[in-house]
């Protein structure tokens, strides 16, 4: 347009045409500015209306925990909000007691653990028993720290195992979230929805939290720290297995939950799930009897004190490499905790006496 005006202007030499050209240019420029003003006003009005609709119809900040927005405009955000509202309503109406927790950790470059291993060599033994096989499945109950004294970290790191890390104490979640295992933030018991007192300690006793009760290590009558218990609800292993699609053959279970081991395992469906290898800290006699009744054998203990014990299912023995026990300092036979008969078919007997309670562990 400006080129045509300029060509017309410079080819017209009379004063009348010069003056007419100037008038035409002023009129055209005015219309252009006017139209640009209308366009800018329309855009600003639409932005204002869009924001107004957003604040009236839904709250873009009111999302359920762990929701990640992947929306690029207001309409997508609204659809995402509606979906999240529906899922939240379904959750509360279903009453199944579960909700997701999103833990943002950035990346795992500070996870460390290059030299970390389990406290008593459990990870080395489990790897050896399974002949360094890759891609197997584990359960770590309870996990505590992601790498320090972890019984499952080296399995995951060295052999690509995968599994569930149970840990109800939120202080451990940011580091556990950096691992490949699925973190289950739940207290496991013998029933779903049972209200219990749960102790979460700090400092030197941080790793010794657990369910509070006279039959467990955490007792109100004999507190470990000044911490006060939290009111929580239990779920079961089976409930968790169904939710996370746990395979029917579990290659390794690390069980160390401060005296609540039998409480968790007493109603376990051994006929539906086979655990090939277990390590259990200080199993009570009632749990030892249960394991033998379900086809498990006692193999060895971590040392002469025998507090950390290892068990295998009899059907898995032919596939396990027992030569690993020639490479570690674990003790076979009787320890200060268990009396073991030379006949491996006979159930071991717990002989340890808790001096604080002045009674035999039953």
DSSP alpha helix (H) spans, the chain: 2-10, 15-57, 74-94, 122-129, 153-159, 173-176, 237-244, 261-265, 285-293
Contact 60, 82 (CB under 8 A): no
The alpha carbon of residue 331 and the mean position of all alpha carbons in its chain are separated, in whole angstroms, by 34
Cα angle 192-221-231, degrees, rounded to a multiple of 5: 30
Nearest to 273 by CA among 256, 251, 292: 251
Percent of the chain with pLDDT over 90: 66
Say if residue 216 is in the same domain as residue 294.
yes
Is residue 179 a part of any domain in this protein?
A: yes
Say if residue 81 is in the same domain as residue 165.
no
Residue 130: CB atoms within 10 A of its CB come to: 22
Say if residue 81 is in the same domain as residue 159.
no
- Mapping DSSP to helix (H, G, I), strand (E, B) and coil, where does residue 206 land? helix
Beta strand pairing call for 252-255 and 277-281: parallel
Answer yes or no: is pLDDT of 69 > 90. Answer: no
| Residue 216's CATH number | 3.40.50
Quick one: pLDDT band at residue 96, thresholds 50, 70, 90?
confident
- The two three-digit tokens of residue 113, written as one number: 């653990």
Say if residue 166 is in the same domain as residue 311.
yes
Say if residue 78 is in the same domain as residue 151.
no
Domain with 90, as residue range(s), is: 2-94
Say if residue 146 is in the same domain as residue 264.
yes
What is the end-to-end Cα distance of the chain in Å, rounded?
99
The DSSP 8-state label assigned to residue 204 in this structure reads G
Q: Residues 161-181: what's their mean pLDDT?
A: 97
Answer yes or no: is pLDDT of 39 > 90. Answer: no
Is residue 115 a part of any domain in this protein?
A: no
Residue 88 has a pLDDT of: 46
Contact 257, 219 (CB under 8 A): no
Quick one: pLDDT band at residue 354, thresholds 50, 70, 90?
confident
Contact 324, 124 (CB under 8 A): yes
The owner of tokens 């009236």 is 56
How many domains does the chain contain in total? 2
Say if residue 216 is in the same domain as residue 340.
yes
| 74-94 vs 15-57: helix crossing angle, rounded to 10 | 0
Q: Of 94, 113, 135, which marks where a domain is finished?
A: 94
CA–CA dist 74, 77 (Å, integer) = 5
Is residue 29 a part of any domain in this protein?
A: yes
Q: Name the residue with higher pLDDT: 4 or 345.
A: 345
Quick one: pLDDT band at residue 36, thresholds 50, 70, 90?
low
CA–CA dist 11, 289 (Å, integer) = 112
Which residues, at least 6 apart from 243, have a Cβ–Cβ distance to it below 8 Å? Answer: 98
Say if residue 146 is in the same domain as residue 224.
yes
């Amino acid at each position: 347009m400006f080129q045509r005006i300029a060509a017309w202007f410079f080819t017209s030499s009379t004063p009348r045409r010069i003056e007419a050209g100037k008038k035409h240019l002023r009129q055209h420029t005015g219309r252009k500015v006017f139209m640009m003003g209308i366009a800018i006003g329309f855009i600003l009005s639409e932005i204002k209306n869009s924001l107004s609709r957003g604040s009236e119809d839904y709250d873009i900040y009111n999302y359920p925990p762990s929701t990640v927005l992947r929306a690029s405009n207001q309409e997508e955000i609204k659809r995402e909000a509606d979906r999240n509202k529906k899922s939240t309503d379904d959750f509360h109406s279903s009453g199944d007691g579960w909700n997701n927790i999103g833990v943002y950790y950035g990346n795992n470059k500070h996870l460390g653990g290059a030299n970390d291993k389990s406290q008593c060599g459990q990870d080395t033994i489990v790897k050896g028993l399974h002949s360094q096989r890759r891609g197997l499945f584990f359960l770590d109950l309870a996990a505590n720290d992601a790498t320090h004294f972890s019984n499952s970290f080296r399995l995951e790191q060295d052999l690509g195992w995968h599994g569930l890390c149970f840990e109800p104490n939120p202080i451990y979640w940011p580091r556990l979230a950096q691992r490949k295992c699925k973190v289950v933030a739940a207290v496991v018991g013998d029933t779903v929805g049972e209200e219990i007192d749960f102790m979460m300690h700090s400092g030197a006793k941080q790793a010794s939290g657990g369910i509070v009760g006279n039959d467990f290590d955490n007792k109100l009558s004999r507190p470990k720290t000044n911490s006060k218990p939290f009111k929580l609800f239990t779920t079961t292993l089976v409930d968790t297995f169904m939710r996370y699609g746990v395979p029917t053959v579990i290659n390794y279970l690390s069980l160390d939950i401060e005296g609540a081991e039998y409480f968790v395992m007493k109603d376990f469906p051994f006929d539906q799930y086979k655990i090939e290898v277990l390590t259990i800290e200080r199993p009570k006699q009632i749990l030892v009897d249960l394991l033998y009744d379900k086809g498990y054998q006692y193999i060895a203990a971590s040392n002469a004190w025998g507090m950390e014990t290892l068990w295998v299912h009899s059907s898995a023995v032919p596939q396990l490499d027992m030569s690993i026990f020639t490479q570690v300092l674990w003790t076979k036979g009787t320890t200060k905790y268990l009396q073991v008969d030379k006949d491996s078919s006979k159930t071991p007997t717990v002989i340890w006496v808790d001096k604080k309670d002045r009674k035999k562990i039953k």
